[in-house]
Amino acid sequence: METKIYTIDKAHIDMDKIKAAADILARGGLVAFPTETVYGLGGDAMDARASEKIYAAKGRPSDNPLIVHIADMKALEEIAVHVPESAYALAERFWPGPLTMILDKSDRVPSETTGGLSTVAVRMPSHPIALELIRASGTYVAAPSANTSGRPSPTMASHVIEDMDGRIEAIIDGGKVGIGIESTIIDLTCEPPMILRPGYITREMLLEVLDEVDVDQAILTENTDKNFKPKAPGMKYRHYAPKGELTIVEGTPDHVAAVINALTKQAQSQGLLTAVIAAGETASRYDCPNVFTIGTRSSEESIAANLYDVLRKMDDLHMDVIYSESYAGGGLGQAIMNRLLKAAGHKVIDADTGRHQHTLIENGRAKARS
Ligand code: TXA
Ligand code: MG
């Protein structure tokens, strides 16, 4: 199939192009589109066959449910039942925006869309192109991240083209996304509500609205753990992994630079293509020829925004061995380290002690497992 590309400026939305893309969705086809977090791979959430096409295009296991994207509050009541007061309070504060809520699903949502679960994930994105597309489609839009299953999520149209060209009807190119990591997922079907995936909306922000918020312990553990049973099925798959061997090196900056410089020298002497992922503040400390600046520590937002593009570059440039600094910290640090640790298969070196370890994250800090 030939994939159409519609280039749309989010500041001056061309409604003819939105209409053309929305018609594809209404006819059961797939359209990738920008959201404020990452690009989504959209299909009609109320059409079981469209959901099946999404799983096929991504190569995604069909037990891994999709997020239903809506553009108004009336939609919430059509796809979810027993909607608690807390959902309205969270919507008031964070929608439209990067928060996904898990609620009991209504009978109208096909079980193909929810991977067979009796609950449904719902999100009202804030990206103007996403909102116009949903409205024009006359339906609700099921959309996982628009990457091939297992690759980093797409943060620009070129990433989507790499993974989806020829596999879907259309791609809306709306430029680089703002946030760069997926939405926070909160389960409201349990008491207290529980974070299933960390994202831009932090636990602290949720606690401004809710009295109590738990964190699914499974998102902090390694996915090889026998007891790993996350409530968000997607969190059990090894995501975002570059083809090269990625290791995170943490500790005081001087020790981190010394360890990484020694290890990259060793890898290069074996003829391996070697890369370093570093913050702007410390990038000049590395001798390796392939140093990729991911953002600056003074702006966690900049690190989140570039994370997946940098991970994709590791594959594009066929890097064999990759060392990254750690970006643990408050706020967005938890979401960044959740994704980076998964990409590294939880391989971490403590540069201060020289210990190689597998770690968990706790409160945004990497923490050695005993
Ligand atoms: O920011 C985002 O959320 C992006 C954009 C496109 O909106 N979407 C996204 O979708 O990240 P996806 O499919 O890549 O991730 C959805 C996650 C998966 O881990 C899935 O298992 C979980 O949400 N999920 C979906 N429905 C669920 C449900 N009913 N219960 C628990 N987890 C659910
Ligand atoms: Mg995804």
Rounded CA gap, 355 and 120, in Å? Answer: 42
Beta strands in 9-106 (DSSP E): 31-33, 40-44, 67-69, 80-81, 99-105
Residue 113: count other Cβ atoms within 10 Å of its Cβ: 28
Mutate to test the pocket of ligand 1, among 104, 182, 228 (most ligand atoms within 8 A of CB): 182
Mutate to test the pocket of ligand 1, among 103, 185, 186, 200 (most ligand atoms within 8 A of CB): 185
Instruction: Report if pTM > 0.85.
Output: yes
Q: In this structure, which residue's CA is closest to atom 10 in ligand 1?
A: 144
Q: In this structure, which residue's CA is closest to atom 30 in ligand 1?
A: 232
Which pLDDT score, from 0 to 100, does residue 329 have?
79
Q: Evaluate: CB of 183 within 6 angstroms of ligand 1.
A: yes
* Alpha-carbon distance values, 311 to 62, 158, 277, 337, 355 (Å): 25, 14, 9, 13, 25
Closest atom of ligand 1 to CA, residue 146: 6
Which pLDDT score, from 0 to 100, does residue 364 have?
45
Q: Evaluate: CB of 177 within 6 angstroms of ligand 1.
A: no
pLDDT tens for the 370 residues of the chain, in order:
999 999 999 999 999 999 999 999 999 999 999 999 999 999 999 999 999 999 999 998 888 999 999 999 999 999 999 999 999 999 999 999 999 999 999 999 999 999 999 999 999 999 999 999 999 999 999 999 999 998 999 999 999 999 999 999 999 999 999 999 999 999 999 999 999 999 999 999 999 999 999 998 877 666 555 566 677 777 766 667 888 999 999 999 999 999 999 999 999 999 999 999 999 999 999 999 999 999 999 999 999 999 999 999 999 999 999 999 999 877 899 899 999 998 998 899 999 998 887 655 544 444 444 3
* Alpha-carbon distance values, 147 to 38, 144, 234, 253, 367 (Å): 10, 8, 13, 34, 30
Which pLDDT score, from 0 to 100, does residue 239 have?
66
**Contact present, 54 and 30 (Cβ < 8 Å):** yes
Tokens of 197: 């995936």
Cα 282 to ligand 2 centroid, rounded to whole Å: 30
Closest atom of ligand 1 to CA, residue 231: 31
Q: Is 163 helix (H, G, I), strand (E, B) or coil?
A: helix
Cα 145 to ligand 2 centroid, rounded to whole Å: 4
Q: Evaluate: CB of 144 within 6 angstroms of ligand 1.
A: yes
Q: Evaluate: CB of 235 within 6 angstroms of ligand 1.
A: yes
Tokens of 196: 């299933």
**Contact present, 71 and 50 (Cβ < 8 Å):** no
**Contact present, 25 and 4 (Cβ < 8 Å):** no
Rounded CA gap, 267 and 261, in Å? Answer: 10
Cα 320 to ligand 2 centroid, rounded to whole Å: 24
For the chain, the first-to-last Cα distance in angstroms comes to 52
DSSP 100-113: EEEEEEPTTS-TTT
**Contact present, 262 and 361 (Cβ < 8 Å):** no
Tokens of 150: 């297992």
Cα 309 to ligand 2 centroid, rounded to whole Å: 15
Cα 121 to ligand 1 centroid, rounded to whole Å: 7
Q: Evaluate: CB of 114 within 6 angstroms of ligand 1.
A: yes
Cα 34 to ligand 1 centroid, rounded to whole Å: 15
Cα 254 to ligand 2 centroid, rounded to whole Å: 35
Closest atom of ligand 1 to CA, residue 183: 1
Which pLDDT score, from 0 to 100, does residue 357 have?
73
Closest atom of ligand 1 to CA, residue 64: 21
Cα 138 to ligand 2 centroid, rounded to whole Å: 25
